[in-house]
């Protein structure tokens, strides 16, 4: 914890612009997660890289907000800021074409970045930012440099073809919490060559049985809420009915709400409800990181009681 007792959370990985039909919006799983955690009043460090270009400058401007430390957001003069072409299916599900050879592929292990690892209470990482050997080496070095008490959150977030069995195995082996969506479980087990049921409960039990460091598996179920599983218990939350706008960033908000409550000693039921509140809120708004309503913040505070 920081001197004031507020958790310090690190998001390390991709920062990019989603080029949506209605215009460009700042995004990336780790970036969205970091912004949401900061807006929930955690102290957050964003470790990524942007190009020395218009998109990079605009990203820095947008991200200059309370509780979000940008000192580990590197500036790359050789590669452009990441962009992604986003289109939507008839069911409002996003499809992505992700540009390669961009700044977040080249996050470097600076002394300042590695020093942050020793002070982190939680770190969130995924597979996409490990597609290039430079960022992969940096992310893995960072995670390995965290303290034993640090909560290591692995958000699978598979984006083919930018995911390999090797990256999945390393990432799982180092995770305290594993977060996945039910839709990506079949792809996950296919990549690993494992003959495991993609049923969320069976998959969660397989994760826990085969990865001793993993304490919690959080599986999002789309409109059907989420399933949280530990070795001792499980909890299914049915989710909240909403008027869907788009799902971009909803899973990232869910992860932020989950970790916010986990670090404050919440029960599985509390974590599931807060995660679903955050995810459904973003899915009902335009963009991946909308400003949080006073009603949402008050509801989360009420659920956690004094542990805010």
**pLDDT over 70 for what percent of the chain?**
97
Question: At residue 4, does pLDDT exceed 50?
Answer: no
**pLDDT score at 3:** 42
How many CB atoms lie under 10 A from the CB of residue 236?
A: 18
- Residue 25 CB contacts under 8 Å (≥ 6 apart), including other chains: 17, 18, 248, 287, 288
Supply the DSSP symbol for 121: S
- Residue 213 CB contacts under 8 Å (≥ 6 apart), including other chains: 152, 173, 174, 175, 176
**pLDDT score at 20:** 80
Question: At residue 198, does pLDDT exceed 90?
Answer: no
CATH architecture of 8-303: 3-Layer(aba) Sandwich (3.40)
Question: At residue 204, does pLDDT exceed 80?
Answer: yes
- Residue 286 CB contacts under 8 Å (≥ 6 apart), including other chains: 22, 245, 246
**pLDDT score at 216:** 98
pTM: 0.92
pLDDT confidence bin for 247, thresholds 50/70/90: confident
Domain boundaries, the chain: 8-303
**pLDDT (tens digit per residue) in 109-147:** 999 999 999 999 999 999 999 999 999 999 999 999 999
């Amino acid at each position: 914890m920081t001197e004031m007792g507020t958790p310090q959370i690190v998001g390390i990985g991709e920062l990019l612009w989603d080029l949506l039909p209605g215009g460009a919006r700042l995004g990336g799983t780790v970036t969205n997660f970091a912004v949401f955690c900061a807006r929930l009043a955690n102290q957050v460090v964003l470790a990524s890289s942007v190009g020395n270009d218009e998109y990079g400058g605009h990203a820095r401007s947008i991200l200059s907000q309370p509780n979000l430390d940008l000192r580990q957001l590197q500036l790359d003069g050789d590669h452009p800021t990441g962009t992604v072409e986003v289109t939507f299916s008839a069911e409002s599900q996003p499809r992505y074409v992700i540009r390669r050879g961009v700044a977040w592929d080249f996050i470097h292990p600076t002394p300042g970045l590695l020093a942050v690892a020793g002070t982190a209470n939680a770190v969130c990482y995924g597979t996409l930012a490990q597609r290039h050997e430079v960022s992969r080496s940096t992310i893995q070095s960072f995670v390995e440099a965290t303290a034993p008490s640090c909560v290591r959150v692995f958000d699978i977030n598979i984006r083919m073809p930018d995911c390999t069995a090797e990256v999945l195995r390393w990432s799982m082996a180092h995770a305290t919490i594993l977060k996945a969506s039910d839709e990506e479980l079949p792809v996950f087990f296919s990549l690993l060559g494992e003959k495991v049921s993609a049923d969320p409960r069976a998959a969660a039990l397989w994760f826990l049985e085969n990865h001793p460091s993993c304490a919690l598996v959080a599986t999002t179920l789309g409109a059907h809420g989420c399933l949280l599983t530990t070795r001792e218990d499980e909890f299914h939350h049915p989710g909240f009915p909403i008027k869907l706008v788009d799902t971009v960033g909803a899973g990232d908000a869910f992860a932020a709400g989950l970790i916010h409550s986990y670090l404050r000693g919440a029960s599985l039921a509390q974590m599931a409800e807060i995660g679903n509140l955050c995810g459904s809120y973003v899915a009902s708004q335009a963009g991946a990181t909308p400003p949080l309503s006073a009603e949402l913040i008050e509801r989360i505070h009420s659920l956690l009681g004094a542990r805010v």
